[in-house]
Structure 1
Amino acid sequence: MNDDQLLRYSRHILLDEVGIEAQQRFLDAHALIVGAGGLGSPVAMYLAASGVGHLTLVDEDRVDLTNLQRQILHTTQSVGQRKVDSGRQTIERLNPDIRITTLACRADAATLDSLVSDATVVLDCTDNFVTRHAINRACVAHRVPLVSGSALRFDGQVSTFDARSPDSPCYACIFPPDENFEEVACATMGVLAPLVGIIGAVQAAEALKVIGGLGKPLTGRLLMLDALSMQWDSFRAPRQTSCPVCGDASHSPPHTA
């Protein structure tokens, strides 16, 4: 780290649990952020401010006026721009020393397979189960930690899945891909603006803990927030041996006659 970096990140370095060693790990890390909307906004801004050296933003959408109530990466002047381009401008103003890669495309299986393999940590900031499961499969395949968050109306949830640990569940252990979960979106149900900030900030904190080897991440726990009562609940989420993605059967050799 140079003198400017030592000053910029001094409040991290003052923390005994972080110090220069973990801050250097932040600088050396690559965080893949899928989704540059309500959750991706605080995630990207906090990771950039914290000095995560390489951020990759993936989002195919453009900024719409309805996004501005909660998607703080973007401004009124961003309306009509691609979200990844607007996000890049905000992040560069916040911390010009980090590297930013942007992809204005849908996060399909092939794209994720390529991107996840090069990431230190992946942050799922999307809003649909198909993409969530595709991200999870790629993270399990490449043994890359995944921090997943969601927010709708007044309810939020976040968890960390670490395929490097044999005891860690994956996203599919909690939300099996063959179950018919109701697909709802804030475009039809609404969402409290600060809720995505709260959940996104927790995701960013979890990512820094994973990168820096700090504390105890939310591996094996699902943290849920009811913002109306401001009540947090934490539930154990064990690994399922029958999981089609990370379970024992998924790693068994194919049957031959």
Structure 2
Amino acid sequence: MSAVPLPTLPRLKTIYDVLYLNERIRLGSGPSYADEIVDPDGSYAALVRILDGTRSVSELQGQLTESLDPDEVLDALRQLLAGGFLEDAAEVPPDNLSGSDLKRYAPNLDFFRTVVAPGESCFTPQSKLKDTRVLLLGLGGIGSNVCMALAELGIGHIFAVDFDRVELSNLNRQVLYSTDVIGQRKADAARQRIRSFNPDIEFEVSDRRLTCLEDVREAVDQARPDFVFCLADKPNGLIDFWVNEVCVQSSVPYAAASVSARVGTAYTVVPGKGPCYQCRIDSEIALAPELQEPLDYIRENHINARNAAMGPPCMFLAYFLSYEMLRHRLDFMGEILASHRLLEVDFVTFAQQWHDFERRPDCRVCGAVPAVGMTYPA
């Protein structure tokens, strides 16, 4: 039996279809229906039919005297509550959720109804998302998809950074932009798009190039984020290291991804709870020292590979990273998937591999005595 108090006005969560079948009641439809209630005489069907949130527990008991005694009503309500099928129609949503929010995010709320603990509110996670602050570095292929996902989720405060202009060749994957904004600054086009798409969130964007560690630190200090997305690809061979160092030192988790033609990768760093990006790179070079030379060459010669990313891989990785952020912000979503490993996807065969990594005690960023103000090639 559930120890959670019964709702003031019990209501069967409307996300669950109710099928009144032969001597049983099915909650939910399709092959993955939620549960069934054995009901040979239809007495429990009488209860389920009036769980519309307009009656108190005592009123339910009084209306069902011909089919169920008061204790049977209580027992049935407790079992439905423990199974996660009941909510309280008397609940008032948090103050930070407006009427517009409740309509816009109604599908989000229905999703939360299926995953929150018994007795917990579906409004609480949406309220927490509205209070969430995110820093988005890069509004390109993956970054623009992440930006839209954040606006869809109702992330209340998004701070983005990008220095580029919209080009026609961006439009195969960068969903923030359209043909009529070609030539505009991405910062301006993104601001216009997000304000049009979801005017109820706070969206700030900085039109600047990140050229050094201190630039990244300034962006993090300005955004004061709960979570960071590292999706900038310039300067190649440096930006990932800068973001990693700043986020580890600031104790801010971040997620990153990239697509190189057919292969995409994604990872998440949670400072203090797993390896950082420097740990992974140091481990890879320790196993294959020959990797150091091309990394140095890329840094010294400012090498940036020609872009061969198509739209679907960018969208896939963007939504994967968005779920990593959700797992961090909402406990009931489970553990972050890529905090100790790198996800690699072949987008031709869709073969997926996980590459495990461990935190290195000698890591110059997150080790026992992290270095502060590391130097990098110019």
Answer yes or no: same fold by TM over 0.5: yes
Amino acid at match of 1:111: D
Amino acid at match of 1:134: W
For 1:189 and 1:83, how far apart are their aligned partners in 2?
Answer: 17
Q: What secondary structure is seen at the aligned counterpart in 2 of 1:42?
A: helix
How big is each residue's C-alpha offset from its partner over 1:76-116, in whole Å with a ceiling of 9 and x where there is no partner? 11111111111111211221100011101112322321332
Change (3 A) 1:153 1:249: same
Shift of 1:240: 1.4
For 1:79 and 1:63, how far apart are their aligned partners in 2?
Answer: 5
For 2:147 and 2:250, how far apart are their aligned partners in 1?
Answer: 22
Amino acid at match of 2:107: R
Structure 1 residue aligned with 2:339: 219
Which residue of 314, 318, 324 maps to 1:200? 318
Is structure 2 residue 115 aligned with structure 1 residue 115? no
For 1:69 and 1:13, how far apart are their aligned partners in 2?
Answer: 32
Amino acid at match of 1:216: E
Shift of 1:185: 4.2
For 1:95 and 1:36, how far apart are their aligned partners in 2?
Answer: 17
Structure 2 residue aligned with 1:237: 357
Shift of 1:51: 0.4
5+ residue gaps in structure 2?
1-96, 117-121, 286-291, 373-378
For 2:109 and 2:341, how far apart are their aligned partners in 1?
Answer: 28
The 5-angstrom pairing of residues 13-162 of structure 1 reads 13-14=109-110, 15=112, 16-17=114-115, 19-107=122-210, 108-117=212-221, 118-127=224-233, 128-162=236-270
Amino acid at match of 2:99: D
Consecutive aligned runs of 4 or more in structure 1 exceeding 4 Å deviation: 182-186
Deviates more, 1:70-79 or 1:174-183: 174-183
Q: What secondary structure is seen at the aligned counterpart in 2 of 1:102?
A: strand
Whether the 8 Å contact between 2:254 and 2:270 is mirrored in structure 1 is yes
For 1:144 and 1:110, how far apart are their aligned partners in 2?
Answer: 16
Amino acid at match of 2:352: W
| Number of residue pairs matched by the alignment | 249
Amino acid at match of 2:198: N
Superposition TM-score, scaled by structure 2 size: 0.62
Shift of 1:26: 0.7
Q: What secondary structure is seen at the aligned counterpart in 2 of 1:63?
A: coil
Superposition TM-score, scaled by structure 1 size: 0.90
For 1:46 and 1:193, how far apart are their aligned partners in 2?
Answer: 15
Shift of 1:192: 2.6
Q: What secondary structure is seen at the aligned counterpart in 1 of 2:354?
A: strand
For 2:335 and 2:237, how far apart are their aligned partners in 1?
Answer: 27
How big is each residue's C-alpha offset from its partner over 1:1-57, in whole Å with a ceiling of 9 and x where there is no partner? 122212211222222436222211110011100000001111000001100001111
For 1:205 and 1:250, how far apart are their aligned partners in 2?
Answer: 29
Amino acid at match of 2:214: A
For 2:304 and 2:317, how far apart are their aligned partners in 1?
Answer: 16
For 1:143 and 1:240, how far apart are their aligned partners in 2?
Answer: 17
Is structure 2 residue 366 aligned with structure 1 residue 246? yes
Whether the 8 Å contact between 2:364 and 2:371 is mirrored in structure 1 is no
Whether the 8 Å contact between 1:31 and 1:122 is mirrored in structure 2 is yes
Shift of 1:212: 2.1
Structure 1 residue aligned with 2:288: none
Structure 2 residue aligned with 1:255: none
Which residue of 101, 106, 114 maps to 1:5? 101
Whether the 8 Å contact between 2:263 and 2:344 is mirrored in structure 1 is yes
Shift of 1:172: 1.2
Q: What secondary structure is seen at the aligned counterpart in 1 of 2:189?
A: helix
Q: Identity of paired residues, percent? A: 29
Amino acid at match of 2:357: A
5+ residue gaps in structure 1?
253-257
Report the RMSD for the aligned CA atoms in angstroms: 2.0
Shift of 1:196: 1.1
